[in-house]
A and B are shown apart, each in its own frame.
Chain A
Amino acid sequence: MKRRVFLAGTMAAGLVTQARAANPIRIGAINPYSGGPALYGDETTRGYELAAAMRNASGGVLGRQIVIVRGNAATPQEGMAAVEQLSGTVDAFIGTFISAISDAASEAALNNDKLYWETNALATQLTARGLPNFIRSGPDSTDFARVSVQAITDVAAKSLGVAPKDLKVWVQHEDSIYGTTIGKDQVALLRKAGVQVIGPNPYSARSIDQTDIILRARNASPDVWLNTGYTADTNLMLRTARDQGFKPKAIVVTGSADTFETRDSLGKEYLEGILVATFPRADINPSYGPGGAEYLAAYRKAFNRDPIAPQNFTAYTGALILFDAIALAGATDHPKVRQAAATMDKPLGSYPNGFGVKFDDTMQNTRAKPIVGQWQNGVVVTVYPEPAVPLGGKLVALARS
Chain B
Amino acid sequence: MASFAGVLLAGVLLGGIYSLVAIGLNLIFGVIRVVNFAQGEFVMLGMYATVVAYTLLHLDPYLGMLLVFPLLFVFGMAVQRFILQPLQNEPMMQIFATFGMLMLLQNVVLAVTGGTAVSIRTPASGLTIAVGPLQVSVARVVALLAVTVVAVGLQWALHTTMTGKAVRAVAQDRRAARLMGIDVERTYMLTFGFGAGLAGVAGALLTPIFTLTPQIGGNFILPAFAVVVLGGLGSVWGAYIGGFLIGLTEALAGFYLDPALKQAVWFAIFILVLVVRPTGLFGVVGAEEVGLRVQE
| Residues in chain A within 8 A of chain B (CB atoms) | 34-40, 42, 175, 201-204, 206-213, 215-216, 219, 231-232, 235-236, 239, 242-245, 261, 264-267, 270, 308
Contacts and interface: CB of A to CB of B under 8 A. Distances in A.
B260 interface: yes
B250 A206 contact: no
Contact of A216 (B117, B128, B209, B259): B259
Given A38-B114, A42-B114, A219-B3, A235 B119 contact: yes
16 contacts: A34-B110, A35-B107, A36-B214, A175-B260, A201-B259, A204-B259, A204-B262, A204-B263, A207-B254, A212-B255, A231-B117, A232-B216, A239-B125, A239-B209, A245-B135, A265-B211
A38 B135 CA distance: 37
A243 B263 CA distance: 23
A261 B126 contact: no
Which 4 pairs of residues, A with B, have the shortest CB-CB distance?
A212-B254, A265-B119, A39-B115, A211-B10
A323 B121 CA distance: 44
Interface stretch (B80-88, B149-157, B188-196, B217-225): B217-225
**Interface majority SS on A: helix, strand, loop or mixed?**
helix
A307 B59 CA distance: 30
A212 B107 contact: no
Interface of B: 3, 6-7, 10, 14, 17, 107, 110, 114-121, 125-126, 128, 135, 137, 209-211, 213-216, 218-220, 223, 247, 250-251, 253-255, 258-260, 262-263
Nearest to A238: B211
Contacts of A39: 114-117
A203 B261 CA distance: 8
A297 B74 CA distance: 47
A34 B10 CA distance: 35
Given A231-B211, A236-B211, A261 B219 contact: no
A235 B110 CA distance: 19
Contacts, number: 125
Given A202-B260, A242-B126, A209 B14 contact: yes
B60 to A, nearest CB: 17
Contacts of A261: 116-119, 211
B17 A208 contact: yes
A212 B10 contact: yes
Contact of B218 (A40, A206, A231, A242): A206
A215 B116 CA distance: 29
Contacts of A38: 110, 114-115
Nearest to A201: B259
A203 B211 contact: no
Nearest to A231: B117
A395 B284 CA distance: 63
A42 B111 CA distance: 12
B267 to A, nearest CB: 12
A74 to B, nearest CB: 10
Nearest to A259: B117
Contact of A212 (B110, B114, B137, B262): B262
Contact of B115 (A37, A215, A243): A37
B14 A265 contact: no
Q: Which of B6, B120, B223 has the most CB of A within 10 A?
A: B6
Contacts of A201: 259
B211 A213 contact: no
A26 to B, nearest CB: 26
Contact of A207 (B120, B215, B219): B219
Given A231-B117, A267-B126, 18 more contacts: A36-B110, A201-B259, A202-B258, A203-B259, A204-B260, A208-B14, A208-B210, A208-B220, A209-B251, A212-B262, A213-B259, A231-B213, A232-B117, A235-B211, A239-B125, A243-B128, A266-B119, A267-B121
